[in-house]
Structure 1
Amino acid sequence: MLLNDPVVLENAHVRLEPLTPAHTDDLTAAREGLDYAWYTSVPASVGEEIAHRLGEHAAGRMNPFAVVAGGRAVGMTTYCNIDEAHRHVEIGYTWLSPAVQRTGVNTAAKLLLLGHAFEACDAIAVEFRTHWHNRQSRAAIERLGAKLDGVLRNHRLGPDGTMRDTVVYSILPHEWPAVRLGLQRRLARG
């Protein structure tokens, strides 16, 4: 299986399904209250963001998912920077409704994405990137069990012209069993 193949991933906590325009209304409602997050990519227009991600999927660079919990789309996540030849992928462009933050939704989604990448797609590295100032995201990535690879200083320009330092983490196949067990234990604790 390829990292860019459309697939539905599901466990008892969350369902990840291929992103489509049919998710627009749920995701527009889900993004309410996220304007505080200047350091992350929360779409101003959900419809435009869905179109962009579907275009990236068609080009083979991204595999976008709607994060569904309680029967409604509550966020987005993707496999991005897909490098099929080298079996390398990044999990990113993730945002979740404030209503499901600090619940098991993100943990359950990452368990599914990592499991699919390592077990079905034979990935040799799964990467995570975030803004230096996004301490919430950095802490969540570290709780997953990802290791810090480094910081790309002045890596990108933000929409407002500020410079972004990007923090890079990864998980490798030999680390996956311990990471999987940690995620499963966190979900079992509720």
Structure 2
Amino acid sequence: MLLIDPIVLENAHVHLEPLDDRHAPDLAAASAGLEHTWYTSVPTPAGIDDEIARRRAMQDAGTMNAWAIVREGTAVGMTTFCGIDQANRHVEIGYTWLALSAQRTAVNTAAKLLLLGHAFDACAAIAVEFRTHWHNRQSRQAIARLGAKQDGVLRNHRLGPGGTLRDTVVFSILPHEWPAVCLGLEERLRRG
């Protein structure tokens, strides 16, 4: 299976559905009230339609595989395989955001378990990467809790809003690490 192939992924906690316009009303409601800080890329409720279109265009170009994160029939966030390098079986999991009601629940852990399992088990990935802004401490901590190891910091990696410079923290999980990471994520879900 290819990293770009649209597929529904599901477990007892969440469904990851290929991102579609039908998810827009739920996602607009889900993004309401989120802290739209200068170092995150969460769309505003009014920007959901444009963000869905942007992600679907990137999917059509072969660089992104986008999902809606669905809990109990309602889309509560988005996530993607991005930076897809099929020839080298390398992918990044990113552009993830969750509604306030889904944060600090099993949703993120369950979604990452599905994405990592799909990348390693179905797509034979040789590396799965996560990237976040240096100033996004919540994201850095969440990535480390998944079991990813920090590879390093790309300094002055991107230009941000108002010309600010972004330092990007890079984490990864490799195939030989996946079995232990998988067990850890499954245990976290069992404990609730």
TM over 0.5: yes
Rate the CA distance shift 1:94–1:100 in 2: closer, same or farther, 3 A: same
Count the aligned residue pairs.
190
Query: What amino acid is the match of 1:138?
Result: R
In structure 1, C-alpha distance between the alignment counterparts of 2:143 and 2:87, rounded to whole Å? 25
Gaps of 5+ in 2: none
Give TM-score, length-normalised by structure 1: 0.98
* Aligned structure 1 segments of 4 or more residues deviating by more than 6 angstroms: none
SS of equivalent to 1:169:
strand
Q: Secondary structure at the match of 1:99?
A: helix
Q: Partner residue of 2:184?
A: 182
Structure 2 SS opposite 1:109: helix
Mapping of residues 153-164 of structure 1, within 5 Å:
153-164=155-166
Deviations 1:43-95 (A, max 9, x none): 13000000000000000000000000121000000000000000000000000
Supply the distance in 2 between the matched residues of 1:36 and 1:115 (Cα, whole angstroms). Answer: 30
CA contact (8 A) 2:128 2:173 kept: yes
Aligned to 1:24: 24
Task: Write the distance in 2 (CA, Å) between the matches of 1:27 and 1:120.
Answer: 28
Instruction: Tell me which of 51, 54, 57 is aligned to 1:52.
Output: 54
Q: Matched residues, percent identical? A: 72
Query: What's the CA shift for 1:161?
Result: 1.8
**Which of 155, 169, 173 is the matching residue for 1:171?**
173
Q: Normalization by structure 2: what TM-score?
A: 0.97
Q: Distance in 2 between matches of 1:68 and 1:37?
A: 24
Gaps of 5+ in 1: none
Letter in 2 for 1:126: V
SS at match of 1:116: helix
Deviation at 1:36, TM superposition (A): 4.0
Q: Distance in 2 between matches of 1:42 and 1:19?
A: 15
**Partners of 2:9 and 2:171 in 1: CA distance:** 23
